Chains A and B, each alone.
Chain A
Amino acid sequence: MKIHRALRMERCIGCHSCSLACARLVYKSVSWDRAGIRIRSTGGVSSGFQAILCLACDPAPCAAACPTGAMVQRKSGGGVLLKKSLCIQCGKCAAACPVDAIALDVAGNPSVCVHCGQCVAYCPHDCLELVEADQTTAAPCLESCHVER
Chain B
Amino acid sequence: MSSDNDLFRVLIYDLERQRGDLVLIPGRRRFIGGSGLAALLYEKYGLPGAAPFDPGQPLIFAIGPATGYFPLMSKTVCGFKSPYNSNYAESHAGGRSALALRFAGYDALVVTGKAAQLSTLVVGSRRIELINVHYLAGADVFTTGKLLRKIASGASGHRSILRIGPAGENGSSYACINVDTYRHFGRLGAGAVMGAKNLKGIVLMGDSDLPLPDDKGYAKLFKDIHEKVTSSGMMEKYHNLGTPANVLPLNELKSLPWRNLAATSDPDADKISGEAFAEKLLMHNAACSGCPVGCIHVGMVREMFSTSHRFAIHQVAYDHEPNFAAGPMLGVVDPVEVLAINDMCDRQGLDIISAGVALAWAVEATEKGLISEKETEVKLTFGDAAAFKRAMWLIGHKANEFYALLGQGTMAAAAHYGGGDYACVLGQEMAGYATGETYFASQTVAFRHSHLDTGAYSYDQKHKEQDVDAVVKFLVDDERERVLLTCLVACLFAREVYKPQTMVDIMACLGHTELAANLDTAAENARRARWRLKIATGFDPMATHIPKRFSEVTTWKGPVDAVYMEALRQGYARAVAELGAPVAAHEA
Contact between A32 and B99, CB atoms less than 8 A apart: yes
Q: How far is the CA of A52 from the CA of B156 in the complex (A)?
A: 11
Q: How far is the CA of A65 from the CA of B465 in the complex (A)?
A: 76
Query: Knowing A13-B285, A16-B290, A124-B292 touch, does A41 contact B210 (C-beta < 8 A)?
Result: no
Query: Knowing A31-B209, A33-B207 touch, does A46 contact B289 (C-beta < 8 A)?
Result: no
Residues 264-323 of B at the A interface (beta carbon under 8 Å): 284-294, 296, 298, 315
Q: How far is the CA of A23 from the CA of B210 in the complex (A)?
A: 10
Residues 74-88 of A at the B interface (beta carbon under 8 Å): none
Q: How far is the CA of A41 from the CA of B290 in the complex (A)?
A: 15
Contact between B157 and A44, CB atoms less than 8 A apart: no
Contact between A31 and B210, CB atoms less than 8 A apart: yes
Residues of B within 8 A of A23 (CB): 209
* Cβ of B390 under 8 Å from chain A: no
Residues of B within 8 A of A30 (CB): 1, 68-69, 209-213
Residues of B within 8 A of A39 (CB): 157
Q: How far is the CA of A16 from the CA of B292 in the complex (A)?
A: 8
Residues 109-132 of A at the B interface (beta carbon under 8 Å): 122-125
Contact between B286 and A14, CB atoms less than 8 A apart: yes
Q: How far is the CA of A39 from the CA of B212 in the complex (A)?
A: 21
Q: How far is the CA of A24 from the CA of B209 in the complex (A)?
A: 11
* Cβ of B541 under 8 Å from chain A: no
Contact between B292 and A122, CB atoms less than 8 A apart: yes
Contact between B145 and A44, CB atoms less than 8 A apart: yes
* Cβ of A144 under 8 Å from chain B: no
Residues of B within 8 A of A44 (CB): 145-146, 149, 181
Residues 190-219 of B at the A interface (beta carbon under 8 Å): 206-213, 218-219
Contact between B158 and A29, CB atoms less than 8 A apart: no
Residues of A within 8 A of B294 (CB): 13, 15, 124-125
Specify which of B68, B157, B180 is in contact with A38 (CB 8 Å cutoff): B157
Q: How far is the CA of A41 from the CA of B289 in the complex (A)?
A: 12
Q: Give a binary string over A9-46; 1 marks a CB under 8 Å from any B CB, 0 the rest.
A: 00001111100100111011111111000111101111
CB distance from A91 to the nearest CB of B (A): 16
* Cβ of B8 under 8 Å from chain A: no
Query: Knowing A24-B219, A30-B68, A38-B157 touch, does A15 contact B211 (C-beta < 8 A)?
Result: no
Q: How far is the CA of A31 from the CA of B206 in the complex (A)?
A: 8
The majority secondary structure among interface residues of chain B is loop
CB distance from B340 to the nearest CB of A (A): 16
* Cβ of A105 under 8 Å from chain B: yes
* Cβ of B226 under 8 Å from chain A: yes
Specify which of B207, B208, B212, B286 is in contact with A28 (CB 8 Å cutoff): B212
Interface size class of B (residues with CB under 8 A): 35 or more
* Cβ of B230 under 8 Å from chain A: yes
Q: How far is the CA of A16 from the CA of B290 in the complex (A)?
A: 6
Residues of B within 8 A of A145 (CB): none
CB distance from A133 to the nearest CB of B (A): 27
CB distance from B317 to the nearest CB of A (A): 9
Residues of A within 8 A of B1 (CB): 30
Residues of A within 8 A of B146 (CB): 44
* Cβ of B244 under 8 Å from chain A: no
Q: How far is the CA of A12 from the CA of B27 in the complex (A)?
A: 39
Residues of B within 8 A of A147 (CB): none
Contact between B209 and A34, CB atoms less than 8 A apart: yes
Query: Knowing A38-B157, A40-B156, A44-B181 touch, does A15 contact B209 (C-beta < 8 A)?
Result: no
Of A14, A23, A29, A52, which is in contact with the most chain B CB atoms at under 10 Å from its CB? A14
* Cβ of B417 under 8 Å from chain A: no
Residues of B within 8 A of A46 (CB): 181-182, 298, 315
Specify which of A17, A48, A106 is in contact with B292 (CB 8 Å cutoff): A17
Q: Chain B: which residue is nearest A34 at the CB level?
A: B209
Q: Chain B: which residue is nearest A18 at the CB level?
A: B292
Q: Give a binary string over B56-76; 1 marks a CB under 8 Å from any A CB, 0 the rest.
A: 000000000000110100000
* Cβ of B457 under 8 Å from chain A: no
Q: How far is the CA of A38 from the CA of B157 in the complex (A)?
A: 8
Q: How far is the CA of A128 from the CA of B286 in the complex (A)?
A: 17
Contact between B290 and A15, CB atoms less than 8 A apart: yes
Residues of A within 8 A of B315 (CB): 46
CB distance from A30 to the nearest CB of B (A): 4
Instruction: Give 19 CB contacts A-B under 8 Å.
Output: A13-B285, A14-B289, A15-B287, A15-B293, A16-B99, A20-B290, A24-B218, A29-B211, A30-B209, A30-B210, A30-B213, A31-B103, A33-B207, A38-B158, A43-B149, A44-B146, A46-B298, A106-B208, A124-B230
Interface, chain A (partner B; CB < 8 A) = 13-17, 20, 23-25, 27-34, 38-41, 43-46, 48, 52, 105-106, 122-125
Known A-B contacts: A14-B286, A24-B218, A33-B207. Give 8 more (CB < 8 A). Answer: A13-B285, A15-B288, A20-B68, A29-B211, A31-B103, A32-B157, A32-B209, A38-B157
Query: 10 tightest CB-CB pairs across the interface, nearest first?
Result: A31-B209, A40-B157, A15-B287, A13-B294, A124-B292, A13-B287, A34-B209, A30-B210, A32-B158, A29-B209
